[in-house]
Structure 1
Amino acid sequence: MSRKARPEDIDEICMSLPEVELGTSWGDRPTYKVPTGGKGKGFLLHRMPHKTAVDPETGEMYDDLVVIITPTEAEKAALVEDDSTPFFTIDHFRSYNAVLVRQSRLGEITRDELAEVITDAWAHRAPKRLVRQFFGDG
């Protein structure tokens, strides 16, 4: 059985995918990109604390948020609307296909579930050739 996801799994999963590098985007935010080099597109980033994402009980800004790209609006909705997962969205991301998750809540899903969401994000941003190679279709 797959164990519970942990924050350190994010780096392990991202870096296990082909042609991934950890760079920056949105200024200085640590961002996993594919492919390596200048054409890299971000698929997961560590979001800085911001007033658009706060704890509803304390009003404190979340300081452990990760943004993960989703391939479609439907996949975003499926993750956000599933009460058994810690994924959510905010108004700031209303028209953007991505979900947010607090690293402190990753234990609510398994490592395999986290890997699936991250791999989908990677596959959405990666060059088609790379995706075909990774999934064995080419």
Structure 2
Amino acid sequence: MATWDDVRRLAARLPETTEGSGTQVGGPVWRVRDAMFAWERPLRRTDVQALESMGAPVPPDPILAARVPDLGVKEALVADAPDIYFTIPHFDGYKAVLVKLPSIPESELSELLVEAWPCRAPKRLAKEWLARHEAAGSSGD
């Protein structure tokens, strides 16, 4: 069961990552430089209503949102692991996935953050870090 402390620890391993609080989201937000790549995303009343109207279960908090490289990745995550990943109509067409934080194994959370980070990192920084990361075969060190 992953926690916000796990997200903090794993995100802190990524270069130039800072944690703050989001003015729109209210909870913790992780950014590379000024670009948000992961954040707390509690469901709003309209999100709950939309899920209920579709007959989808409403997951309990805590919920993490994370950037993904493209909509195909998002669709694959939601289809392959609906017990962990989901989306809401508000995120239609948006390259981010929602995560039932207590359901994701720590190793998968690490992989998700490692994949979310370069989606928002400056290209040069991402390219340099990914080259080092792949050469080392590590998960964020």
The two structures have a TM-score, normalised by structure 2, of 0.76
In structure 1, the residue corresponding to 2:85 is in which secondary structure? coil
1:48 aligns with 2:48: no
In structure 1, the residue corresponding to 2:118 is in which secondary structure? helix
Q: Name the amino acid aligned to 1:16.
A: R
In structure 1, C-alpha distance between the alignment counterparts of 2:25 and 2:86, rounded to whole Å: 23
Q: How far does residue 24 in structure 1 lie from its aligned partner after superposition?
A: 2.6
Partner of 1:33: 31
In structure 2, C-alpha distance between the alignment counterparts of 1:97 and 1:53, rounded to whole Å: 20
The structure in which a higher percent of residues are helix is 2
Superposed counterparts of 1:1-138, under 5 Å? 6-7=2-3, 8-25=5-22, 26=24, 28-35=26-33, 40-51=34-45, 52-53=47-48, 62-83=60-81, 86-106=84-104, 110-136=105-131
Larger deviation, residues 80-89 vs 114-123: 80-89
- How many pairs were matched up? 125
How far does the alpha carbon of each residue in 1:33-54 deviate from its partner, in whole angstroms, 9 at most, with x for none?
002xxxx110100113412047
In structure 1, C-alpha distance between the alignment counterparts of 2:106 and 2:59, rounded to whole Å: 26
Q: Is the 8 A contact 1:53 1:62 kept in 2?
A: no
Structure 1 gap segments, 5+ residues each: none
Q: Name the amino acid aligned to 1:126.
A: A
In structure 2, C-alpha distance between the alignment counterparts of 1:49 and 1:77, rounded to whole Å: 19
How far does the alpha carbon of each residue in 1:87-116 deviate from its partner, in whole angstroms, 9 at most, with x for none?
11111111211111122212xxx3222211
How far does the alpha carbon of each residue in 1:41-98 deviate from its partner, in whole angstroms, 9 at most, with x for none?
10100113412047869x8773311111111001101101103751111111112111
Structure 2 gap segments, 5+ residues each: 133-141
Q: How far does residue 27 in structure 1 lie from its aligned partner after superposition?
A: 5.2
Partner of 2:138: none
| Matched-pair identity in % | 30
The two structures have a TM-score, normalised by structure 1, of 0.78
Q: CA RMSD in A?
A: 2.4
